[in-house]
Amino acid sequence: MAPAGDTSSFLAAVAAGADAVYVGLKHFSARMQATNFSISELAQLASLGRDRGTRTYVAMNTLVKPGDVESAGRLMERLQKNVKPYAIIVQDLAMIELAKQVGFKGEIHLSTLANLSHPAGLEIARKLGASRVVVPRELNLDEVKLMADACPKDLDLEIFVHGALCNCISGRCYWSSYLGGKSSLRGRCVQPCRRLYKQGKQDAERLFSCTDLSLDVLTKPLLDMPKITSWKIEGRKKGPHYVYYTVRAYQMLRDNPSDAQAKKTAMDLLDQALGRPATHSVFLPQRPFMPIQPKEETSSGRFVGEIKRDQKKLYFQPREDLHPGDLIRVGYEDQPGHRTLSIRRRVPKRGRMDIPYSAKIKGPNLPVGTKVFLVDRREPELVKLIKNLEGELALFPAPEPKESKYTPKWPKAAARGKGRPENISLFRVPPRGRVNGRAAFWLERISLSKVARNQTGRTQWWMPPVIWPDEDKKYRSLIKEAVKNGAREFVINAPWQVAYFEDRKNITLVAGPFCNAANAFALQVLKNLGCSSAIISPELPGEDVLALSNNPPLHLGIVIKGMWPFGLSRFLADAVRLDEPIKSPMHEVSFVRKYGQTNWIYPGWELDLSEEYKGLDRAGFKSFVTMIEDWPKDVPKPRRTSTFNWRLQLL
């Protein structure tokens, strides 16, 4: 399954013989930095793909804000009428409901952003109408097998085999959003994890920047898992060269798993694909490799030289031939003078290429020693293949556009409850002294053992935002023990965690903030799953929070104060020390704390929406959560707080 962010990449995937191509539209795509497609462009390409045996999947995998619902539904209906894709890939629960309302006839695939990370949740996905689940990139082979063994009939799994790795778990990253409203859940991530960070006296390094994933020869065991029906290549921002070579390589590995020469050829093709340095990451459980190596190169593309200065001119001498049409990137995105350049005439190996002066580059120009990377090629053979397919597109004229008149059938509003709102204080373990408001605890062995039995039933118990495949039994056991001790109210932090409570009566379920509920349709799906109320994510801007509170199908709560994380990660570089300050180039402080198998990356300052309390109360919010963490002794106490995106637009 190949990525395509523009027409050339789509045609490169078809030329390579990809079984499927996944793309994004101009809206509601989790890779908004890619060129993406209009409906008419995609209609032609999808028709060509069908003729060549290549399926088209469309990623509509962003968070849907309250005001987005109608436009998302209309776009989906136009997609169905004009493109007829084989499947849509979704993150937001609203998209599942919209697909039903507009009569979408293709399959529904759950994006990795939906964070279905444990076997028990797969049955819930099937019940909601999903045909496929894209599993997290952080799973090892044994965990993938656990997911495959538990996969129900009429559902299959898709796994990433190649491409970029994010530091944070998909669907559990708020880093870019917290620093300025550009949300990874809406395809606008500015990749703060790729920046330089400094901890203690060490030099600034890329402490959170991952190498790429490349399972290459390790894909062979996946062939023995019938439920793994798709190998996914990441890279909708990549060019046609990358797409063509990665598709051809993984075809060879799939079709010739025992052929040593085919494996060697495939590895040579991957080496030519111009991705970042790649590893097997944690895929081999007996030999896991940390994909964050702060001292190593993690930039996209192949390193081809360094900037030098000759009097006033900047230049570099490439380590290999450069050809017309090749693209080079000079420096990193967070470095002065960063830019991407197209090669206009051949530059021989160890020849000289002058870097043109650019008045558009703000700030200081390129420093000597800045690294240069080859990020895309335009070799004649591939250009010819793409040109031939462009000619064939004329045989598939764009259909007469069919507009949409879709009007949402809105969920029925919940009856407004009476009584005062509830203040909830969320702890890891019972605090010393009095609790302000009602106590809540993360459901872990230590908290369950320390809460007195006569208090268990009055307490709200929070499930973790991520449950890994080998933790299914652990949380079933903890839930059983908590219920035995009198627990009656649980907060789920992924819709799929409903699976743990289907056979339990007299239990109240609350959808937690990590469910990322941001619109009435998503709230309705959570209600249908058995939730009595929902705590929305504090990521939403104020205007969207208030819009969501207008006749919602569930009673609402919000995280109003405390330690909301930048993100959750399964990866942590050896150089990073827990509970110690980490500083960015902008002097932003963060720290990392580990709970179980998951690393929580926290900003060095709290979320605080306390000033909005009265307005939220008037809007009908029924619960206000304060997330409490012990402050690390080595991290300086902040002089600031954050209102997150309350006064911003969420892009």
Q: Domain-by-domain residue ranges, the chain?
A: 2-165+211-274+380-393, 302-376, 422-642
Measured CA distances, 191 to 76, 179, 196, 570, 575 (Å) = 29, 11, 11, 17, 20
Average pLDDT (206-233) is 96
Q: Is the pLDDT of residue 436 over 60?
A: yes
Q: Does the pLDDT value for residue 55 go beyond 70? A: yes
The C-alpha atoms of residue 383 and residue 241 are separated, in whole angstroms, by: 9
% the chain with pLDDT above 90: 84
pLDDT tens digits along 372-383: 999 998 888 999
**pLDDT at residue number 359:** 60
Count CB-CB contacts under 10 A for residue 344: 10
| Cβ neighbourhood burial of 418 (10 Å; 0-12, 13-18, 19+) | exposed
Residue type, 139: L
**pLDDT category of residue 277 using cuts at 50, 70 and 90:** confident
Mean pLDDT of 543-551: 96
Query: Domain spanning 2-165+211-274+380-393 has what CATH number?
Result: 3.20.20.110
Rounded Cα–Cα distance for residues 564 and 542 (Å):
17
Q: Which of 281, 144, 137 minimizes the C-alpha distance to 224?
A: 144
pLDDT higher than 60, residue 362: no
Question: Pseudo-torsion of CA 155, 247, 114, 294, nearest 10°?
Answer: 140
**Pick the residue with more confidence: 651 or 479?**
479
Helix, strand, or coil here: 602?
A: strand
Residue 419's pLDDT band, with cuts at 50, 70 and 90, is: confident
pLDDT, one tens digit per residue, over 163-216 is: 999 999 999 999 999 998 999 999 999 999 999 999 999 999 999 999 999 999
Residue 43 has pLDDT above 70, yes or no: yes
How far is residue 556's CA from residue 221's CA, in Å, rounded to a whole number? 45
> Given pLDDT bands bounded at 50, 70 and 90, which one contains residue 31?
low
Q: Across residues 412-423, what is the average pLDDT?
A: 85
pLDDT at 32 over 80: no
Distance CA(249)–CA(266), nearest Å, equals 4
Residues 6+ away with beta carbon under 8 Å from 311:
none
Q: What is the rounded average pLDDT of the residues 357-377?
A: 77
Q: Side by side, which strands form the sheet with 308-310?
A: 308-310, 313-316, 353-354
Q: Report the C-alpha gap between 451 and 101 in whole angstroms.
A: 46
| 603: three-class secondary structure by DSSP | strand
Distance CA 393, CA 376 (A): 24
Q: CA torsion 163→167→172→178, rounded to 10°?
A: -120
Tokens describing residue 157: 């799994």
Tally of CB atoms within 10 A around 172: 26
Q: What is the reported pLDDT for 126? A: 98
Neighbouring C-alpha atoms within 13 Å toward the C-beta of 122: 27
**Which band of pLDDT confidence, cut at 50, 70 and 90, is reported for residue 386?**
very high
Q: How high is the pLDDT of residue 364?
A: 52
Q: What is the DSSP letter of 410?
A: P
Average pLDDT rounded to a whole number, residues 131-158 = 98
Q: Please give the average per-residue pLDDT across 596-625, as a whole number.
A: 97
Give the predicted TM-score (pTM) of the model.
0.94
Q: Which CATH fold would you assign to the domain 422-642?
A: TIM Barrel (3.20.20)
Lowest mean pLDDT among 156-165, 293-302, 435-444, 605-614: 293-302
Percentage of the residues of the chain whose pLDDT score is greater than 70: 98
Q: Give the model's pLDDT for residue 338.
A: 83
Model confidence pLDDT, tens digit, residues 59-102? 999 999 999 999 999 999 999 999 999 999 999 999 999 999 99
Is residue 648 classed exposed, middle or buried when 0-12, 13-18 and 19+ CB atoms within 10 A define those classes?
middle
With a cut of 80, say whether residue 243 has pLDDT above it. yes
pLDDT beyond 70 at 449: yes
Please list, in sequence order, all residues whose beta carbon lies within 8 angstroms of the beta carbon of residue 381, skipping any fewer than 6 positions away: none
CA angle 151, 534, 186 (to 5 degrees): 70
Quote the pLDDT of residue 402.
86
Residue 576's DSSP bridge partners are: none
Is 620 buried (19+), middle (13-18) or exposed (0-12) by CB count in 10 A? middle
Pair type for strands 641-642 and 438-442:
unpaired
Looking up tokens 């076997």 gives: 119
Residue 326 tokens read as 């090749």
**How many Cβ atoms are within 10 Å of 530's Cβ, its own excluded?**
15
- Assign 276 a pLDDT band (cuts: 50, 70, 90): confident
How high is the mean pLDDT of the chain? Answer: 94
Is the predicted pLDDT of residue 33 greater than 70, yes or no? no
Nearest Cα residue to 533 out of 504, 564, 508: 508
Question: Which residues on adjacent β-strands are paired with residue 594?
Answer: 599
Sequence-separated (6 or more) residues with CB below 8 Å from residue 434: none
For 63-114, give the DSSP string.
Answer: ---GGGHHHHHHHHHHHHHHT--SEEEE-SHHHHHHHHHHT--SEEEE-GGG
Residue in the block written with tokens 């599993």: 135
Domains 2-165+211-274+380-393 and 422-642 share a fold: yes
- Residue 363 pLDDT: 47
Which range, of 211-225, 348-362, 401-415, 613-627, averages the lowest pLDDT? Answer: 348-362
Asked if 305 contacts 317 with a C-beta cutoff of 8 angstroms, the reply is yes
Q: How confident is the model at residue 125 (pLDDT cuts 50, 70, 90)?
A: very high
Query: Could you tell me which residues come within 8 angstroms of residue 319 by beta carbon, excluding any fewer than 6 positions away?
Result: 303, 304, 305, 349, 350
Task: Give phi and psi for 75, each to the nearest 5.
Answer: -65, -40
* Length in residues, the chain: 651
Distance from the first to the final alpha carbon of the chain: 28
- The pLDDT of residue 400 is 85
